[in-house]
């Protein structure tokens, strides 16, 4: 019941994460235009490396460690203050490193400096603590406040391409204030400890082990944007970044159940309850398949009408970039469960790191050939290849822990339902000329067709949901 409650909290959060970008992205795309959006994406990609240094893999490690120690006030208090001490040191190091970097690198410095507020936001972020306690209510309320606050300020202050600095300030500052606000809820869950009680050195090795996949993940996610800016042009970065944002919005829905289940996976593994770990993973994996296939196929079918409604005329041609990137959703949904959830929960993050390293190599080499010719479309192809490599390597590492046949046993049902749905909404869309009306009815019809077919095919998690409602 607690997992269901936390999932509903997380789902509410994800709905806000969808609704607000649905309004802001079209507005920002039209106001800032491809070039300024490209500069924003490029500056954000640069600062992400310094934010990564400040975080040092602590979000995942802290979540897991608190999940291990949550039954003891003394233990979780010690762990909390030890991790906070490390975060403050790393945030200071990250800011000094950024300052030195910008002394050498002189391009778009004012935008990167404005984004540096995110380093301080990372330093005060304690959402990992409440996630480890499975207290998602506080995290969700914080996130909703941040999103609404930034949403209002964007429409009040960002009016043209000259307001990009205001846009970055709003995003960065709202994140800082939101993270800082969580400290007000901390007192009831921890107590003060003496400095001599702290054993900071115990955390460095496991943090570094989890830091490596985060470094690789950050490089993988930002490499295309940095290469595009240098090999192609900054406007192509804007095209790719806007397409990627659509995929990331849908991805938040895919990984929401995994976010809720992860603390339970880690806690069950710590107690030696391996069967519970496997059962939760199967549920999470099935839900990812249930969502990713219709998302991917549906997005490919509606990409043309969606792009014209969402981005406007200045982003003509972006529908092909979105259609290519849509395939990522299937691979990302699966790898999120296998790598970020299962391998990390059972202390085998080596497989996650190796999968990302292989993907980076593939993306880098393929980008050298594809980006100069195809620009954003080439970046989309390399991203899909990279996500496929991540999935294949992770499947290799989990094969000794899980039955792959059992995990994929219901996948064909989601594929069949999604393909039929795609065919129906494609031909149904031919009846309309207006893009917005066409898109609306395609989504409604697609949902109805997909759910009806699954009712007939009855995948295994259908029975789980049915039993919960009957219970």
pLDDT at residue 258 in the model: 66
Q: Which residues are CB-contacts of 259 (< 8 A; sequence separation ≥ 6)?
A: 10, 131
Mean predicted lDDT score pLDDT of the chain: 83
pLDDT at residue 100 in the model: 92
pLDDT at residue 11 in the model: 66
Q: Tens digit of pLDDT for each residue in 163-193?
A: 999 999 999 998 898 888 888 877 777 877 7
Q: Which residues are CB-contacts of 147 (< 8 A; sequence separation ≥ 6)?
A: 16, 17, 20
Residue 428 has pLDDT above 50, yes or no: yes
Predicted confidence band of residue 439 (pLDDT cuts 50, 70, 90):
confident
Residue 33 has pLDDT above 80, yes or no: yes
- Tracing tokens 């985060």 back to the chain, one arrives at 214
How far is it, in rounded angstroms, from Cα 198 to Cα 177? 28
Neighbours of 461 (CB within 10 A): 18
pLDDT at residue 253 in the model: 78
Residue 155 has pLDDT above 70, yes or no: yes
When pLDDT is averaged across residues 281-299 and rounded to a whole number, the result is 89
How far is it, in rounded angstroms, from Cα 165 to Cα 40? 9
pLDDT at residue 413 in the model: 93
pLDDT at residue 389 in the model: 94
Long-range contacts formed by 228-232: CB under 8 A, 24+ apart: 228/371, 228/375, 228/376, 228/379, 229/38, 229/42, 231/367, 231/368, 231/371, 231/372, 232/371, 232/372, 232/375, 232/376
How far is it, in rounded angstroms, from Cα 267 to Cα 213? 21
Closest-CA residue to 150 (of 125, 175, 184, 119): 175
Residue 310 has pLDDT above 60, yes or no: yes
pLDDT at residue 229 in the model: 81
pLDDT at residue 259 in the model: 67
Predicted confidence band of residue 464 (pLDDT cuts 50, 70, 90):
low
Q: Are the beta carbons of 275 and 199 closer than 8 angstroms?
A: no
Residue 278 has pLDDT above 80, yes or no: no
Residue 7 has pLDDT above 70, yes or no: no
When pLDDT is averaged across residues 113-120 and rounded to a whole number, the result is 93
pLDDT at residue 305 in the model: 85
pLDDT at residue 91 in the model: 92
* 470, two tokens: 């009957």
Kind and range of the H or E run holding 369? helix 350-374
Task: Return the beta strands (E) in 425-464 as ranges.
Answer: none
pLDDT at residue 463 in the model: 63
**Higher-scoring residue by pLDDT: 21, 366:** 366
Residue 471 has pLDDT above 50, yes or no: no
What distances in angstroms separate CA 36 from CA 39, 130, 279, 431, 439, one per listed residue?
5, 37, 46, 37, 28
Least confident of 40-49, 137-146, 450-459: 137-146
Residue boundaries of the structural domains of the chain: 2-409
Predicted confidence band of residue 85 (pLDDT cuts 50, 70, 90):
confident
How far is it, in rounded angstroms, from Cα 283 to Cα 465? 10
Residue 237 has pLDDT above 60, yes or no: yes
């Amino acid at each position: 019941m607690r997992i269901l409650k936390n999932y509903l909290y997380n789902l509410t959060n994800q709905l806000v994460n969808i609704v607000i970008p649905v309004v802001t992205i079209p507005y920002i795309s039209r106001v800032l235009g491809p070039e300024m959006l490209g500069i924003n994406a490029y500056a954000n990609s640069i600062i992400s490396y310094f934010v990564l240094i400040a975080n040092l893999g602590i979000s995942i490690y802290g979540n897991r460690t608190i999940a291990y120690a949550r039954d003891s006030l003394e233990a979780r208090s010690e762990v909390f203050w030890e991790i906070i001490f490390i975060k403050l040191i790393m945030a200071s190091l990250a800011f000094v490193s950024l300052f030195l970097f910008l002394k050498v690198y002189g391009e778009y410095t004012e935008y990167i400096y404005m984004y540096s507020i995110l380093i301080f936001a990372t330093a005060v972020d304690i959402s990992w603590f409440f996630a480890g306690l499975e207290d998602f209510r506080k995290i969700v309320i914080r996130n909703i406040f941040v999103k609404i606050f930034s949403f209002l300020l964007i429409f009040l202050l960002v009016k043209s391409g000259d307001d990009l600095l205001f846009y970055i300030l709003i995003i960065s500052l709202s994140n800082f204030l939101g993270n800082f606000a969580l400290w007000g809820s901390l007192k009831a869950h921890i107590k003060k400890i003496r400095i001599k009680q702290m054993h900071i050195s115990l955390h460095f090795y496991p943090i570094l082990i989890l830091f490596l996949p985060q470094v690789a993940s950050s490089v993988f996610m930002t490499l295309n944007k940095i290469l595009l800016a240098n090999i192609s042009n900054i406007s192509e970065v804007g095209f790719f970044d806007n397409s990627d944002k659509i995929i990331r919005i849908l991805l938040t829905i895919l990984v929401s159940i995994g976010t809720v289940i992860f603390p339970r996976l880690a806690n069950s593994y710590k107690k030696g309850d391996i069967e519970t770990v496997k059962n939760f993973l199967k549920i999470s994996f099935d839900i990812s398949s249930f969502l990713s296939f219709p998302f991917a196929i549906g997005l490919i079918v509606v990409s043309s009408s969606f792009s014209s409604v969402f981005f406007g005329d200045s982003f003509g041609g972006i529908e092909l970039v979105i259609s290519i990137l849509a395939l990522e959703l299937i691979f990302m949904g699966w790898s999120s469960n296998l790598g970020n959830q299962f391998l990390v929960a059972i202390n085998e993050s080596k497989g996650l790191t190796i999968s990302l390293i292989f993907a980076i190599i593939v993306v880098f080499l393929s980008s050298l050939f594809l980006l100069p010719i195809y620009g954003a479309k080439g970046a989309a192809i390399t991203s899909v290849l990279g996500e496929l490599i991540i999935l294949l390597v992770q499947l290799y590492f989990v094969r000794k822990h899980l039955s792959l046949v059992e995990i994929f046993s219901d996948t064909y049902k989601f594929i069949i339902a999604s393909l039929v749905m795609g065919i129906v909404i494609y031909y149904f869309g031919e009846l309309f000329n207006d893009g917005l009306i066409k898109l609306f009815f395609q989504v409604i019809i697609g949902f109805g067709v997909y759910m009806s077919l699954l009712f007939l095919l009855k995948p295994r998690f259908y029975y789980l949901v049915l039993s919960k409602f009957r219970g």
